[in-house]
Amino acid sequence: MRNRKRIYRKFSYRECDSFAAFLREQSRKGWHFKEWKMGLVFERGEKKDVEYDVQVFPKGKDYDYKPEAEAEEYADYCEVAGWEFVDGQGQFCIFRRCGNDAISIVTEEERFRNVCAAEWRQWRRDVIWPALLLSLDLWQWVLCPTSAWGLYDNVILCVIAIFVICLLWSLMDGAWLLSWGRAQKKKLEAGEKVSYHKAGPRAYSLIGLRNNIGIIAIGVLAYQAGHGQVIVPIVFFVLAVSVLDALFEYLRPKRENLWVVAMSGMGLWIIVVFLTGVMLVAERGDVASIFLNGEFTSGHFWQKEDVPLVQEDYKEAGDMGSVEEYFWRRGMFGEMLACKVEYVPEETALSEEERYKLPVEERVRLDDLRQEETDTLRYEIYQSRYRWMIEKVWDIEAGDAELEECSEQWDAAYAGLLNSYCYYVKYEDEVWVITTGERLTDEQIRIVRERLEKIEWGE
């Protein structure tokens, strides 16, 4: 028969009375609270009706794993009042009644102030992080993006939605806390006792459910979007955080040693970022294009017959053409595809092994020739049935560029030419960005339109 058991259960500061009642109920069953170590640790003993009191210590910190010197001094004071200090964590201090003549540790007004101060301090932290991360994501992907690709990425949109939910959740909790505080203050003014039993939206079971759903949703969408390798760093991060949390819960370092926590967290982030980069490179093959250009090559070796448009569709082209990039993404607001086809001079089409056998001067000459003579076709097609989405994509891609209008040639709502080689075309439900490297004739534009209009979305 085991003599110890551990219960993984958390309470918010506004649940002090529920916490004390839970400990008392365990004592009635013969399990007496001993310490806080990777959960609440109980020891088997005689069944007794032991009265507990849970207080919020105003000088404590949320990140305290064990009672500090101030809390121990506070415990000595409470023992004189007939309450034995058992253990504490964060701003919680747990006392067990040790005398029949025990008196209240603090007044009702003091206890109310302590609980409210701890709750509001925790609320400010909970509202700042989602607000900050949401602002950064909205700035990068919605307000000031460099590419419209993010609008078609369900993973990014899911992350933004999760931050929105967390922020709204915190704001709702703040409203609940404000309402609760006013109601309890009226009770105090009327001479009634305040009860601390309800956590409201701050209930840890609800928050845990919300966080778990968010992590699962990100993983599923990452897999659905073709970022299956990224799930490994996500799983690693969740496991690492859980292990670190359990480790520090077990070791319970003092406040002055918490720099270890900060260093461990920084190391964890470095490892996660490194693993994410490794997985993306393994999946996509080109880390520079992933992080610098916002583009990536596909792991599949596409042929020219697989893509909607290549150079030979509208002009004469060489034989050394290859599909360098081809990407198709389906988001909740529409679909997009991006393609890059290159034709390089045959003289420069050497393997890396053959290239490095050449003299340095010859390699430089071939590199210059390849750069000057390479014929590149790049196009991005964005589709959506939402008018606002089309307008947003157009604002991102075309922006305030000074375009030479050519709407009639493209039979579009608007079309413009930039620098004589890049076309921006807007239709009712599509936006095309086509970089041809040259100005197209009317006949060439007609052929390009016919090819791109055959794209079957939703397939």
Tens of pLDDT, residues 349-403: 666 677 777 787 777 777 776 666 678 899 999 999 999 999 999 999 998 889 9
- Under the banding of pLDDT at 50, 70 and 90, the label for residue 28 is very high
Is 90 exceeded by the pLDDT of residue 323? no
- Under the banding of pLDDT at 50, 70 and 90, the label for residue 297 is very low
Q: What percent of the chain has pLDDT over 70?
A: 87
pLDDT winner (highest mean) among 71-75, 301-305, 361-365: 71-75
- Under the banding of pLDDT at 50, 70 and 90, the label for residue 293 is very low
User: Model pTM?
Assistant: 0.74
Is 70 exceeded by the pLDDT of residue 410? yes
pLDDT winner (highest mean) among 268-277, 336-345, 405-414: 405-414
More confident residue, 229 or 67: 67
What's the pLDDT at 279? 61
CA distance linking residue 342 with residue 318, whole number of Å: 10
CA distance linking residue 347 with residue 332, whole number of Å: 45
Cβ contact 42:48 at 8 Å: no
What's the pLDDT at 327? 84
CA distance linking residue 256 with residue 247, whole number of Å: 17
Least confident range of 139-143, 179-183, 417-421: 139-143
What's the pLDDT at 414? 96
Assigned token pair, 431: 């936006």
**How many other CB atoms are found less than 10 A from the CB of residue 313?**
17
What's the pLDDT at 135? 92
Mean pLDDT of the chain: 84
What's the pLDDT at 213? 83
Is 50 exceeded by the pLDDT of residue 346? yes
Average pLDDT of span 105-109:
88
- Under the banding of pLDDT at 50, 70 and 90, the label for residue 124 is very high
Cβ contact 275:233 at 8 Å: yes
- Residue closest to 413 by CA, chosen among 447, 435, 387: 387
Return all residues near 178 (Cβ < 8 A) that are at least 6 apart. none
